[in-house]
Amino acid sequence: MTFKIPETISEAEINLLVKSARKNKLKAAIVLGFYQGLRVSEVINLTKSDVDMPRGFLHIKQGKGKKDRDLPIMKPAIFYFRFLPLDVTRQALHKAVKKLGKEVLRKDIHFHTLRHSGASFYLNEKGIDIRHIQELLGHSRLSTTQVYLHVNPQQLKNAFNEAWK
């Protein structure tokens, strides 16, 4: 079985989307989808009480598979927790992200694109181990996480060249 690797967008493009979004709640949803790796249902169900700033964790209740998980709070997301709860429907959020992607980036993106892009960003730009990304995304199988990740061919080459120095 072959999987089509989903398209990703860069952190610069995320920042452009956030800057271009008119509503703070949409900005928050974009940031949480990308930096926290959240699914659309997780974003719309998030409340201020799920944010534990003293411990530095975000509690996700009843994610996919009815599993709870705690995620480290990512610094770029901190400002946007003030807009929780988002009080938006799943459909409205999908529509807003798709529309903004077309207007600003001239790309056909979906909310899930943010999650995919964030995972690839952590792997390629931040050098986070794939097992940690698996935990962030709440995947029980590593193979699921691997489908999400775009490995930059030049970075792959550099990593292996480094191994042979």
Q: What is the pLDDT along the chain (165 residues), one digit of tens a residue?
A: 455 666 899 999 999 999 999 999 999 999 999 999 999 999 999 999 999 999 999 999 865 556 788 999 999 999 999 999 999 999 999 999 999 999 999 999 999 999 999 998 998 889 898 889 988 888 788 777 777 666 666 666 676 777 777
Instruction: With respect to residue 102, please indicate whether it lies within any of the assigned structural domains.
Output: yes
> Per the residue annotation, which of 64, 107, 132, 157 is the catalytic one?
64
Helix (H, G, I), strand (E, B) or coil at 74: coil
CA angle 158, 161, 164 (to 5 degrees): 150
What's the domain range around 54?
11-163
Instruction: With respect to residue 5, please indicate whether it lies within any of the assigned structural domains.
Output: no
Alpha carbon distance 145, 120 (integer Å): 10
147 touches 3 (CB < 8 A) = yes
Per-residue pLDDT, 86: 97
CATH code, domain carrying 55: 1.10.443.10
Per-residue pLDDT, 152: 60
Annotated catalytic residue 64: yes
> Per the residue annotation, which of 39, 80, 116, 122 is the catalytic one?
39
Per-residue pLDDT, 108: 95
30 touches 112 (CB < 8 A) = no
Helix (H, G, I), strand (E, B) or coil at 27: helix
Annotated catalytic residue 99: no
Instruction: With respect to residue 31, please indicate whether it lies within any of the assigned structural domains.
Output: yes
> Per the residue annotation, which of 69, 90, 112, 150 is the catalytic one?
112
> Per the residue annotation, which of 35, 80, 122, 148 is the catalytic one?
148
Per-residue pLDDT, 155: 62
Q: What is the pTM of this model?
A: 0.86
Annotated catalytic residue 35: no
> Per the residue annotation, which of 25, 35, 80, 115 is the catalytic one?
115
Annotated catalytic residue 131: no
Closest CA to 73 of 47, 104, 35: 35
Quote the number of domains for the chain. 1
Per-residue pLDDT, 113: 95
Instruction: With respect to residue 134, please indicate whether it lies within any of the assigned structural domains.
Output: yes
Annotated catalytic residue 112: yes
Annotated catalytic residue 115: yes
